[in-house]
A and B are shown apart, each in its own frame.
Chain A
Amino acid sequence: MRCSFCERRCDLSDDFHGFCQMYKVEEDRVVERYPFRWSGYQSSDIEMIPFYHAYPGTKSLVVGTMGCNLDCKYCLNSHIAKKQVEESRLYALTPEQILKAARLAGCHNIVFGVNEVTVSFPSFLALAKAAKKQGFAVGCLTNGYLTEEAAELLAEHVLFINLSLKSPSNQFYRHYAGINDVGPIIRNLRFFAERVHLEITTPIVQDVNDHEIPEIARLIAEIDPCIPWHLFRLLPEYKMQDYQYPDIKRIEGLLNIARQEVSYVYFSNFVGSKWVSTDCPLCGTPVVKRVALGTCGAQLAADLRVNEQCAGCGYRIPFLKQSASEQVAVS
């Protein structure tokens, strides 16, 4: 019997638990080995996840599990994604317990944001359903390697997604991520752009995919030039621990090229980055100021929009829903 959550479509017969180690067959159905088991739950500024154009200034309850369906050689989360999955390291938490924590911690939304959402899909969807009922917005991170059926299900349950598009080429995915075909990821990118609020993250590995920045920019622009795009200065770990760090000045030059195609291009994962704030693409007026604190995201410093519009020219910058000051109280 095959799993249909991601495009690996693992055959789970003979007690194989899938590439991600997270599924098994029981009574002719693919089920999770560890349903409602999580590797952690905590609150975070939504900008730190990162989502820059969704609910600015709100707190997110971030959950995650273990395992992954890709095998990125530079993985930053290998202590969670690439470790042997052990039940003892996971917390048993019902959706209700997670949502109670979210309320107590003053969170506005729930985000699956540690590892790949497809490897714990049924539990996440159940959490998303319960969260929606209680008025929480729900989002997730994904590497985009879902099947069409799973992508459809995900789009039904979440309002915002950050998809990691590592490269437009099969060659990169083959050498660095352990899959042969970027096609399904680009297919899902197009699909999510139509259905949910979408942001894209591209980890930049020096001399590996930095030359692809203009090509990725063109691809995003063709789908929707207003999709916020986060370039991520990757400090490789796991199997590429001693690899060089990307040269910021070199990337800066490529950012200027990317900006001609895509309106909202960000560059982060290093402290002090000046490329984490939003300027109006029409008149250049600062719209949202953020401070880069390393890691992938940033901290909101000031939301300068007036009635969700640029204070300089009145252009309506696409942001998902309301700002923090206008948010519906959920706690």
Chain B
Amino acid sequence: MSVAVIDVREWQTTVDFATGDLIEADEHHLVKLAKEIIAKRYYPGDVDNRSINWVTDTALDLAEAYQPDFLFLSYAQPHFYSLYQRFDPGKWEEICTTIFAEITRLVDLTGFTPVVVGLGDMVPLKERIDLTGLDGLGVATNWSFHYAGLYSPSQADLEQLNSDPRIERVVSKERFSELFDGSQEFLRRFPDYLLVAREGYTFRGFASGMREISRIPAKNYQIPIYTPLGNVQRLVDIHALLDQALPQRKVALILIEGIGQRDFRLPYQLIDNTEHWYIYENSRDHYLTITTGLHFQYGQFPPGHLDHAKGPKYPYSGGFTALPQNTLGRKKGIKSAAVGTRNMITHVAAGADICIECFARQLYNLGTIAIINDPKYFEGRDSPLKLAPA
């Protein structure tokens, strides 16, 4: 079983990660460790600069106490700052400087070989394309910026969207599956049409967030990667690069959201950040493609999908009812740990033995969660986590 320890400031609880049922698991050394770390490391909040240090400090705690072979880190603060705050060049400079200084601090103190990926630059928002006037339903969620789903459109809707200069393409489900293929689950959820905006534009419609936004990801055809492990050409190759390096080397895979070529402060190679015409943008897909080596259409959720049916399993993992099993953190024969400020995406994408992430939604800072992924670590042994509900 997997266990989650939740900390909401001065109060903690331990639950079965798969069901949310309360359990007692205090004697498990990883649970104890997680409790200690998250009790002393309050998450400062998504747009707060101190959340950059929070990632490093928490990772150093984990690295020292657990001695992982693989460390997965996500610094999402630059993304949230750019998205929601009025852009201030001085503050931005401070953010970039802090991030790279923190990465250096982590590497100096732990000796991990860093592989650092800048997930892409952000650009000012030009305009939001309002989908609410259509006959069909335009679904524009917080998970995508240049992509929206369209359901049951009329002919007039399609003509209007096809002639809108802000829209790059309107792709039917059939055309998409012909070109991209995809997993059954992904294609089942795929909207009738996928709308793709030009750079600087994003959609608004059903399920859009209510906060104002100021910057969105650019169309980053290429993104920078720093790696001493060898050459990579494409996003999907990062998985193989690390898979080969582990466990001979201790590797830290570090993702930085909201920073691309423009602000990357390490020597880098550029890698292809696309699949056909699809350009990855800071999101669940980006993370999962990097950690599984599989393009987004082999995952579970297409952009703009309407099916938010949650099963009873994994209540803390967004819509996921089964967690990806082919992530780097689940590699056999290694110890893995993860820390991130991109809430549940961190544990889903990392699949690490122990993962600590913020529990924040729509900028509401609800605390932190540590997930101890027992089945892998205790493979072939009796799990000490078979405990009666509290």
- Using CB atoms and an 8 Å cutoff, list the residues of chain A in contact with chain B: 39-43, 45, 64, 76, 79-80, 89, 91-93, 97, 100-101, 104-106, 114, 233, 235, 245, 247-249, 270-274, 291-295, 299, 301-302
Contact = CB atoms under 8 A, between A and B. Distances in A.
Contact of B13 (A43, A272, A299, A301): A272
Interface residues of B, number: 40
A235 B360 CA distance: 13
Contact of A270 (B8, B15, B361): B8
Interface stretch (B205-213, B256-264, B376-384): B205-213
B168 to A, nearest CB: 23
B282 to A, nearest CB: 21
B315 interface: yes
Contact of B361 (A40, A42, A295): A295
Given A248-B11, A271-B359, A293 B133 contact: no
A91 B205 CA distance: 8
A40 B140 CA distance: 11
Interface string B117-146: 000000000000010110001000000000
A89 B212 contact: yes
A161 to B, nearest CB: 22
23 contacts: A40-B209, A43-B207, A91-B205, A104-B152, A106-B309, A233-B8, A247-B10, A249-B11, A270-B366, A271-B6, A271-B359, A271-B366, A271-B367, A271-B369, A272-B20, A291-B315, A292-B20, A294-B359, A295-B366, A299-B20, A299-B310, A301-B312, A302-B312
B361 A294 contact: yes
B306 A104 contact: yes
Contacts of B367: 270-271, 294
Contacts of A40: 208-210
Contacts of A76: 364
Contacts, number: 96
A193 B242 CA distance: 61
A235 to B, nearest CB: 7
A45 B310 contact: yes
B269 interface: no
B10 A248 contact: yes
B10 A104 contact: no
A270 B15 CA distance: 14
Interface string B357-372: 0010100111101000
B8 A272 contact: yes
B132 A100 contact: no
A80 B210 contact: yes
B359 to A, nearest CB: 5
Minimum-distance CB pairs A-B, first 3: A291-B20, A294-B366, A272-B6
Given A104-B152, A270-B367, A294-B367, A245 B9 contact: yes
